[in-house]
Structure 1
Amino acid sequence: MSTTQSERLRGLLEPLVSAADLDLEEIEVSRAGRRRVLRVIVDSEDGATLDACAELSRVISQQLDESDAMGDEEYVLEVSSPGADRPLTEHRHYVRAVGRLVRFQLDDSGELVARVLTVDDEGLDLEVPGVKGRKPTARRIAFGDIAKARVEIEFNRKDKKQEEEA
């Protein structure tokens, strides 16, 4: 996809996504046989619901039909959320991960799995789970020390509503 088309699509879609109170995470155009696939990945503080993605898909489809941003070739539009295993790359991703268990690949000291407690402009305050009955420990890491980070899926994790009720 040319930079020009990417910029045009982002310029066309960003206001539509923002109007739906969502964040535009990614735009990708790829080939699937004779057709192209336009994937629009969106998210929000509370996550992107199926209904929000469906409504946004209708709005985007209408806007694309009225413009020439995708050219004359056939394409398939997919609007979805990033999924639980997407990498954390933006400050807002870390903010949304507060309370979650995250696997960090650190630049200097290998790997770390810890719960995100707080996020500020410089880095994260973490709670590293204790091993073999030991108490959890606190740790601070700077954003510059993180090579990669992904949320770990927890099947027995309490959600925010359960924590507030407890």
Structure 2
Amino acid sequence: MARSEVPASVADAVGPVVDSADLVLEDLEFLVQGKQTIVRVTVDLPDHKHGAVSLESIAQVSRELSKTLDAVRSLDPDYTLEVSSPGTSRPLTQERHFRRNLGRLVDVRLMDGTRFTERLVDVEDANAVFETRGIVEISSIRKARVEVELSRAEAASDSDFVDIAGTDSDRTQDSED
């Protein structure tokens, strides 16, 4: 699928909708293949928020973007809209990416070829601070990605999670008579 330059009318329409949802526009792609047009929008939480973008937020901004893009005359009316969040496989390329991943284990390759995997403990003045390595200038990092830690997930207790559908204590088990 060919990635085309994002038409200004699409970019101008997407930005304000994402901003009004209190999200950050991480990426905007415009893909065209034959008669098929895809507008792919990637959103993230702003720096001051922790956690991940909720499915509810994705759905809400998706609905608003769809309404807004339907009014863009230069966009093929049969376009497909895809809205997502970056996920853990996203490369960390900006200071805000590092800030959003404080406390996570990060696999880092420096410009000089050095490679290490350490916990990110702070981000200050365009520097990433790692647990034992200390301060590393973000501009000296060639590639960085979050390492998924399954052992940390296993160590989590039920109290670490929020029940979004209601409390489990309200549920009863069926009994056999």
- The aligned runs of 1:10-159 (5 Å cut-off) are 10-31=11-32, 34-44=35-45, 45=49, 46-70=51-75, 72=76, 74-127=78-131, 137-157=132-152
Give the CA RMSD over aligned residues: 1.9
Partner amino acid, structure 2, of 1:2: E
Query: C-alpha deviations, 1:17-51, integer Å up to 9, x for none?
Result: 11111100001111356311111000103321111
Aligned to 2:10: 9
Q: Which runs of 5+ in 1 are unaligned?
A: 128-136
8 A contact 2:70–2:77 mirrored in 1: no
Partner amino acid, structure 1, of 2:58: C
Q: Which runs of 5+ in 2 are unaligned?
A: 161-177
Q: Percent identity?
A: 37
8 A contact 1:37–1:77 mirrored in 2: yes
Q: Which runs of 4+ in 1 moved over 4 A?
A: none
8 A contact 1:35–1:73 mirrored in 2: no
8 A contact 1:104–1:149 mirrored in 2: yes
Q: How many residues align?
A: 149
How far off its partner does 1:138 sit? Answer: 3.9
Aligned to 1:132: none
Cα separation, 2, equivalents of 1:20 and 1:73 = 24
Partner amino acid, structure 1, of 2:118: A
8 A contact 1:95–1:118 mirrored in 2: yes
- SS at the partner of 1:156? helix
Cα separation, 1, equivalents of 2:142 and 2:122 = 19
How far off its partner does 1:16 sit? Answer: 0.7
Cα separation, 2, equivalents of 1:48 and 1:36 = 25
How far off its partner does 1:88 sit? Answer: 0.8
Cα separation, 2, equivalents of 1:69 and 1:16 = 18
Query: C-alpha deviations, 1:114-162, integer Å up to 9, x for none?
Result: 11000012301101xxxxxxxxx34211112101111111112267x85
